[in-house]
Every structure is written in C-alpha cells, then in structure tokens.
C-alpha cells in the first residue's frame, strides 16, 4: 500500500476533510488532493505533521495496516476452505480480506476472560440466524430492541448488532466490499470454525455509510445469506442485496422517528432554511447520509410535491456550505471531551498513555464517538452540533494536549 493510501485511510477513520488536512500541512485543497492521489508525494515534513495528527509514528506510514495477532498463526499459512467463486467478487484479494477479521475474532474468543461473553453472544447469534422470511417480520422483531440503543433519535447500530444479535464486527480496508458477512460455524481454514458470525466493514468509507453497512449485514444475518459472500461497494442487482438494503433503511430510518426528527427541524428552522437543507439537518440528527434520507422521505411521502425534485437533485456539499453559513453553532464545550476521555481511561479497550494520550487513531475514534454521543444527549430536542465539527474538535484537542506523536517502540 502506498503512503498516500495510508494517509487517506487514517483521515477517513478520523472523519477529517481534505480542507482540514490541507490547512494542517500548509497547502491548498487542490494540492492536497493531488498528494493524496500519490502525485506528488508527501514530504518528510508533511509526514511528521501528519504522524502527530494521527498519533502514529512516521514509520507506521511504511507498514501494512492489518494488525497481526499472536494466536492467529494457524491462519497465516492455512489452506482456506471457502471456494473463491463463493464470493461476489472473486479473487485472492477476497480470501486475504478474511484474514484480519477472522484473526481478531479467534484472538478474542481464545481469551478465557471472554468465555462468558462469547457464550452469551453465541446464543444470541444462534437464536436470530435465519429467523425471518419477510422484511416486515424482521423489522417488527427488531424495533423493540432499538429502544435500548438510541442516542437521541439515532441508533447505536454497532452496539445493537453485537449485544442483541451476537455479531463480531471488524473494520479495515476491505477492498471492493462495503461489507462482508459470514455465519457462525463457517470453516474458513482447516479445522478453524468461526465461533461467531463475522461482519466486516470498510473503514475507508464515510461513517454514515459504515453505519448503513452494519445494518445491511445484520439483514443478511436475519434472513440468512442465500447468495454469494460480500456486499460490493458498487450497486448490485442481487435480490439478497436489495432486501438487506431495505432492511437497513427501515431500521435506521424508521418512519415514526423520521417524522419526529423532520417535524422538529421544520419547527425550528422553517424560517431559516429551505426544505432540502432541513432534510440535511435531519440526516445529521439520525446519523445517516443525505442521499439515503432524501430517498427515504420521498418514499414515505413526507416531501411536498413541489420539493421532490429539489430534494433529490440537491448537491450535498452546497447544502452543507449554505447551512454552515446560516446556522448559529452552539458554543463548544471542551470539558465534554475531557470528561469522555476520563471515562474511557477506566475501560479496557481504550489504549492510552499518560504522556502521549490516546494511542493511535483507533483510540481517537473512540474518543470522537463518545464525545459526539455526549453532545447528542446534551442537545436532546435541540438540533445537535454538526458531527464533523465535533470530530474535528476532538482531533484538535488531542493534538494540542499531547503534542508528541507515539514513537516506535
């Protein structure tokens, strides 16, 4: 993988814009775009700045991204049992993509300290696999579970998938796939059977698309994947893919919640913004993409007839600029980030060092998510701060508070 691809990976993981990155290294937006595309290369000075920003070492830009686990050795040279033609996109790359999430799962399941949680999640996964024949049945079953995983009106889809359905979720650069799903018990290598269903999500995609992908792959679990493995990045005419998309849309954008959020935004902003802008604000509140919500509100008949074309043809970037100019932002409270950081220090999954702070982009991402959730809770019925603004402030806080990047050890 090229250095430019590594930098793009870290930038997407932390939800940072190219504008933000360009200002950091002192170049124009267009110049930065060219550098991220590999020509010209980033200079040594640029790499030092970016290493500090991402909390990695400069040397990390020259290494493979996949994490290696000590107890995944059996997979390193094993003969994969899944035929290549079972993947929707055939090829050696599909097999290699499985190594990272499978390795993570085997490493976690092999830890005796996780035995009770493993058993609980295995039971959940077994109870819900292939449970439904129709979309309505699946939605009817899932909606009561959603209540425990709501942040404002947005679903914490990752916690829902893991806690209520037992799925193992992994993130990495999964090539041509938006996501992958493999059922529990799949023999991926000689005598190596998956103890839990695996959902693998493409970490290079925007956060809203990742959330949709988790819901989409959950749909494959509930209906049982009858077709080939892997949900391609590009649109597919496969019937299973269409059903999984409908399930994800109905789950993340359930009718009553969409109506509630849209009405709230109209009541608050009808004198300030046009209808497409209000849909954009509602999408941010539900943590879904504008394109997904715009299609959904039209399908649900929530858009005045004279607004259907403007809503569907609107350019998201132009809407974002229009909203940012008119919207009066809430004052940003840095204490929220500090409180979230203190809470995360007490967990086992947050990698933290007293001198260097969050250890790498994964830890910063945890801090971003916790901080944004806290802002959503604080906002309650009021329109929240734009998510990208909160994410940028978290990264800025980490960079200012812990100026030294994590050195190679």
Q: Mind listing the pLDDT tens digit of every residue in the chain (409 residues)?
A: 688 888 888 887 787 888 889 999 999 988 998 998 888 889 989 999 999 899 888 888 887 654 333 333 444 444 566 777 777 776 666 667 777 788 878 888 888 888 999 999 999 999 999 999 899 999 999 999 998 888 778 888 888 999 999 999 887 767 788 888 999 998 887 788 999 999 988 876 777 888 899 999 999 999 986 667 888 888 778 888 899 999 999 999 999 999 999 999 999 888 889 999 999 989 988 889 999 999 999 999 999 999 999 999 999 888 888 887 776 656 678 888 999 899 888 877 788 888 888 988 888 988 887 787 777 666 544 445 566 778 888 999 998 898 876 544 3
Handedness of CA 99, 101, 106, 111 (dihedral sign): positive
Phi, psi (rounded to 5 degrees) for 331? -65, 135
Q: 61 forms bridges with which residues in the sheet?
A: none
Handedness of CA 395, 399, 400, 401 (dihedral sign): positive
**Residue 296: how many CA atoms within 13 Å on its side-chain side?**
27
Contact by Cβ (8 Å): 385, 375: yes
Indicate the pTM of the whole model: 0.72
Is residue 353 within a helix (H) or strand (E), and if so which, with residue range? strand 352-353
Contact by Cβ (8 Å): 294, 355: no
């Amino acid at each position: 993988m090229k250095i430019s691809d590594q930098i793009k990976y870290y930038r997407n993981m932390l939800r940072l814009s190219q504008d933000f990155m360009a200002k950091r290294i002192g170049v124009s937006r267009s110049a930065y775009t060219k550098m991220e595309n590999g020509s010209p290369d980033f200079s040594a000075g640029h790499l030092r700045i970016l290493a500090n920003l991402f909390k990695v070492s400069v040397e990390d830009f020259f290494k493979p991204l996949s994490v290696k686990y000590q107890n995944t050795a059996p997979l390193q040279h094993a003969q994969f049992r899944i035929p290549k033609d079972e993947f929707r996109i055939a090829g050696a790359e599909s097999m290699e993509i499985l190594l990272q999430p499978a390795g993570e799962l085997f490493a976690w399941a092999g830890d005796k300290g996780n035995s009770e949680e493993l058993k609980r999640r295995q039971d959940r996964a077994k109870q819900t696999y292939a449970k439904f024949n129709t979309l309505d049945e699946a939605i009817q079953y899932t909606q009561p579970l959603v209540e425990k995983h709501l942040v404002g009106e947005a679903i914490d889809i990752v916690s829902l998938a893991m806690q209520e359905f037992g799925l193992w979720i992994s993130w990495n650069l999964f090539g041509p796939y938006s996501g992958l799903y493999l059922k529990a018990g799949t023999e991926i290598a000689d005598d190596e059977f998956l103890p839990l269903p695996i959902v693998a999500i493409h970490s290079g995609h925007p956060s809203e698309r990742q959330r949709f992908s988790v819901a989409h792959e959950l749909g494959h679990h509930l209906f049982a994947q009858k077709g080939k493995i892997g949900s391609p990045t590009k649109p597919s005419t496969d019937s299973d893919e269409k059903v999984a998309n409908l399930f994800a849309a109905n789950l993340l954008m359930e009718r009553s919640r969409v109506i509630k959020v849209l009405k709230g935004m109209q009541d608050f902003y009808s004198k300030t913004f046009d209808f497409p802008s209000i849909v954009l604000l509602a999408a941010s509140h539900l943590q879904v993409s504008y394109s997904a919500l715009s299609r959904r509100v039209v399908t649900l008949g929530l858009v005045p007839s004279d607004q259907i074309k403007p809503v569907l043809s609107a350019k998201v970037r132009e809407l974002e600029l229009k909203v940012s100019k008119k919207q009066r932002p809430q004052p940003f409270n840095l204490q929220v980030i500090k409180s979230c950081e203190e809470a995360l220090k007490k967990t086992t999954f947050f990698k933290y060092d007293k001198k260097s702070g969050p250890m790498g982009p994964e830890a910063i991402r945890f801090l971003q998510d916790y901080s944004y959730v806290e802002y959503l809770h604080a906002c309650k019925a009021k329109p929240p701060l734009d998510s990208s603004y909160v994410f940028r402030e978290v990264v800025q806080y980490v960079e200012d508070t812990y100026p030294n990047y994590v050195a190679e050890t």
